[in-house]
Amino acid sequence: MGHVITPSRQPRPLGKSGILVSPIAWGTWRLAGDDVAGVRAMIDAALGAGITLFDTADIYGIGTPGGFGSAEALFGRALAEEPALRGRMVIATKGGITPPVPYDSSAEHLAHAVDASLARMGIDVIDLYQIHRRDLLTHPEEVAGALTRMAEAGKVRAIGVSNYSPAERDALQAFLDLPIVSTQPEFSALHTAPLWDGTLDQAMAADMAVLAWSPLAGGRLAAGDHPARLLLAEHGARFDADASAAALSWIMAHPARIIPIVGSQNPARIAAAADAWRVGWTRAEWYAVLQAGMGERLP
């Protein structure tokens, strides 16, 4: 059968930040409306599943009646009802996407954005502040200056990047004394680019945490008839877990110790993410899912 790789449920360092985080995160990109009790139920489900890393962004809520910033604000309202929750969480957010521009990472914008995020969530410090997408019109030295100032002011504890190529990360790091502690690519069995484009290799070499967004490929690995999804469902069933839990476990089996960001708004589905820790993988099983996701055999 070969060696079985089973993801560890132990907290791990968030890169070089000194902050410990859970191996699974919960993301709020679908958070909308004004149901604070509902959000609290999701938070409780996440904490109950051992999730301590909560990932949001100022752009979340765009396209809903609440608009830009509304996901952070709704999350903040849930925290305000029970301030003790804050101490059990590592809160990550992002800035830099500014519809319809679409991107702005100028020093002026980032200085405003971090203050606005803190105010909306009603917190004193952001544990991880990430540049959401690269602004092609801002020199990385200017971005680095803005990030350094927010860290020196005590507004953020650590900094990361999202949707950055390895070269873009290197250019930013060149102007920073602080380490970039994390990178957040899209990654799943149906979006495997980080395996090949250097993102995961760089993260391992530089001791950066990897947060994976859309780990269920927009739901295609949770339901439907994609060959990779069927393989995940079959494999998960052996461990009394569903395809979603198997998909998370598949991501976490990689030696970069990738942290998938669960996006469900259903407390029961959030709680079920903990099933991922039961699912083990031989190399043959893991590579079979990869090849099914790619739709081609490896050489």
Burial of 65 (0-12, 13-18, 19+ CB in 10 A): exposed
Residue 164 appears among annotated catalytic residues: no
CB-CB contact of 117 with 126 (8 Å): yes
First to last CA, the chain: 22
| Candidates 60, 103, 129, 164; catalytic one | 60
Neighbours of 237 (CB within 10 A): 13
* The residue count for the chain: 299
* DSSP bridge partners of 92: 55, 128
Residue 111 main-chain phi, psi, to 5 deg: -60, -40
Residues with catalytic roles: 60
